[in-house]
Amino acid sequence: MNQEPEPVGAGMHFTTNVSGTGQAFVAGGDMIVFDGPAPVAMAALPAAPAYLVGRAEQLDALSEFFLAAPEGPSFTNIALITGFAGSGKRALATAAARQALQRGRFTGGVVFVDLEHDDGRPLSRGQALASALFSLGLRHSAEMGGSDADRTSLYRSLLQDRAVARGPVLVVADNASRPDQVDVLLPGSGEHRLLVTSRELLPIAGARTVVTGPLDAADSFLLLHYAVERRGLSRIGSIESLTSTEMNHLHGLLELSGLLPAAITEIAHHFSQDGGLTAEELLGDLTKALDSYTEGGPPDGPLLAPLRRGFDETYLRLGPEAAELLPLLGLVPGPNITSRQAAHLAGPDRDDIRSRLAALARAHLVAEERVGCDRWRLHPHARREATALARRLPQAVREAAQRRLLDEYARIARIAVEETNGEGSALHLRAGRKASRERFEAECPNLVPGVDMAVSAGLDRHAAELALPVCQLLLHHHRFDELATCAKAGVGAARRAGDRTTEAELLNVRGGWLRKLGGHHEALGQYTQAHDIFAALDDRPGRAKTLGNIASIHYERGEFEQAYVIYREVAAEFLALGDTRLEAMCLKNAGDTLAAADELDAARHAYTESIKVYRQRGDLDGEAEVLNSLGELLRFAGPPQEALPYYNRALQLAEDAENPGLQGAALRGAGECLIDGTARRRREALRMLQRAADLLEQSGNLRAHAAVCGRIGRHYYDTRKYARAIDYLHRAGIVLLHEFKDTDAAAVPLGLMDQARRVMEGRGLLRTPLNYLRGQRPPRSWEVGPGHVFTLEPKPWTDGLSDG
């Protein structure tokens, strides 16, 4: 066989005599077309995937794309399948193409063009056109024309000729990396279609985009199931025979795979080869290899290769600015980051941060959690790689970026505390209470790990400064589990940094947490330590706050005289310091103490003083809270109707402040005032109490929520509406049992629920036996009467159901 080079287009091509039977052309080293009859276009299409899991939605979108009428207003004849390497783009394109052929859609055939060399380099425009023309049957380079424009015209003419002779053609362009590779392959006629696959979200005008992201957990497990069974199971038996422990190991492997189809298939390979690993062994080996890699170890190896498929090439294709940002994102301790936080992470004068994030998003390394929310999340496979890259940064660069990010986290947390306390500038207070809560819920998954990151990096000052406002927020939102670990880390960091003031503030927060859990002795120990530190520092505001906390301990112990004296002393101290918010709070607490001691007139006077201070401040929350307390005082001291105006005013203020907890408290009090009145008043009261239960649950005040549910359940029981009583008593008991582990308190509603069920059983209305122990969750659904089933739902569902 002799061979002579012939220049064609932008690449080197060869014309070759093959056994004297004709000529073959090689374009970019990717495709050979023999002289002779024109090839069948479909012959170049890869084999159909053995299984395609979790892509039904994408297949439907492509089927709609193939069938769209050219005269439609939103018609396009080009679609882009885009996703990270190993996400199954080619498999989806092949499956969709073969499905369309089976349905008789592209009678002219399918032209398949791989736009990437074997070594990963992209084909030029000329090479891409040459490959397409070879597939369409051109034999000699002289027939193709010299320029790209001539070849594009020829390519579109051949497609049109084929459409006339045989029907429309589907062109599949695989592994595109630049828009100009795709532009030259766009058919001139609307009856043809161009289907492009790319690892990047290419800016192709008018293209319909289909994304192949990671699979969900169920589809990932199904794919592993198919892949392992197809290869023949070895040491793990059958999927159906796996124990729960083995299933957990498999789910751990799927998590390490990033839920990408190619990585899942490679993991299945390790099970099926001779002497293959068990799931536990493979999980251990993979975890060890990944931990070593993220800590700076080698990036290669047989286990790592399938998990890192395509990342190095994707990273090298990034522009320098985006490539610089990705390792820094590996420092982010939480699940997401805003563009402002990313700018702080990247350093000063980073005005182009959004364009950098957009470049990473086009490469499927990051994505917005919701379109336009400006909260970016690394894909699982990208997070692992970014963490490994971050480890390879110079220590000075890494620590400087961590400091900038922690400073921004601390600023965010302090603003949230100011909003929670009704403090801060008008700019910060512009957002409503609901927006403040939503912001906390969005930032909390980043702020809490931020404290751990600072401690691990040895940045104790930053750790302490961030831990304080974060712990204050966690206490306010009743996030006690996170508060326990965060406060411990913060106190330790403050001590190491020599920050005595922050240490004392954190001790106060820890005392508040312990007090809410009923640990008065332990809380008093924390408060005493804080008081001693503030006294040694001659910090009057800090000492006064701590004395107020100590007074709360006396109040909760029933030591009302001691509590009242301290509250009055502290209120006077805050007045002298000019802190009217804390002055009003102490006056309110003094009123609560007097009310508990049955000093009703003095309590009313203290409440009135507190309301005046809150009103002067324009503090709607504070005024509403005191009005609720005053309503409680009047409801128990005299005719309940006298308390209603105070509850109504508190409700109005709480609604203006968008505070569901205070709204729920006001509705609860008003409902209690009316519950023993006329039938009409009772119906109104029940509506109030039901709404109060929902609002208190929404605000996170679950103990008050349980109390209201128990009250509603007791009313329904007393009025012989037993099915409804069971609903609310169940809700109250389960909250007390599972949220607070308070078996004594839970026994009251659950015991009454037992009685209601026994009454219904005795009347033949309830056909589920009482076979559960007190304190366990009862059955979720019961049959009530012939053909009726009710289910325990968060809201009453029993309207229209007879209670017998």
Cα–Cα separations (whole angstroms), residue 52 to 59, 219, 310:
10, 10, 20
333-354 confidence digits (pLDDT tens): 999 999 999 999 998 766 789 9
* CATH (one of 3.30.70.270, 2.40.50.140, 3.40.50.300, 1.10.287.70) for 3-211: 3.40.50.300
Alpha carbon distance 328, 389 (integer Å): 8
Q: Over 80: is that where the pLDDT of 252 sits?
A: yes
Burial level of 594, CB count in 10 A (0-12/13-18/19+)? buried
Q: Could you tell me the two tokens for 531?
A: 């008081």
533-551 confidence digits (pLDDT tens): 999 999 999 999 999 999 9
Distance spanning both ends of the chain, measured CA to CA: 97
> pLDDT band at 773, cuts 50/70/90?
very low
Q: Which residue has the tokens 């326990």?
A: 484
Instruction: Compute the average pLDDT of residues 40-46.
Output: 62
Instruction: Compute the average pLDDT of residues 430-440.
Output: 63
Q: Could you tell me the two tokens for 775?
A: 């304190």
pLDDT score, position 435: 65
Contact 105, 60 (CB under 8 A): no
Give residue limits of the domains in the chain: 3-211, 217-307, 311-393, 401-538
Alpha carbon distance 193, 550 (integer Å): 76
Alpha carbon distance 799, 782 (integer Å): 16
Instruction: Give the dihedral sign, CA 556/560/561/563.
Output: positive
- The helix/strand/coil state of 790 is strand
746-764 confidence digits (pLDDT tens): 999 999 999 998 888 887 7
Alpha carbon distance 582, 540 (integer Å): 13
- The helix/strand/coil state of 325 is helix
> pLDDT band at 152, cuts 50/70/90?
confident
Cα–Cα separations (whole angstroms), residue 130 to 114, 171, 196, 444, 762:
11, 14, 17, 55, 86
The b-or-e profile of 194-227 (16+ CB within 10 A means b, else e) is bbbbbbbbbebeebbebbbbbbeeebbbbbbbbb
Alpha carbon distance 650, 621 (integer Å): 9
- Level-2 CATH architecture, domain 401-538: Alpha Horseshoe (1.25)
106-140 confidence digits (pLDDT tens): 988 899 999 988 877 889 888 888 888 888 877 65
Q: What is the mean pLDDT of the chain?
A: 82
Instruction: Compute the average pLDDT of residues 243-266.
Output: 82
The CATH fold assigned to 311-393 is: Arc Repressor Mutant, subunit A (1.10.10)
Q: Over 50: is that where the pLDDT of 768 sits?
A: no
Per-residue DSSP letter, 583? H
pLDDT score, position 277: 65
Contact 306, 261 (CB under 8 A): no
Q: Could you tell me the two tokens for 438?
A: 């939503």
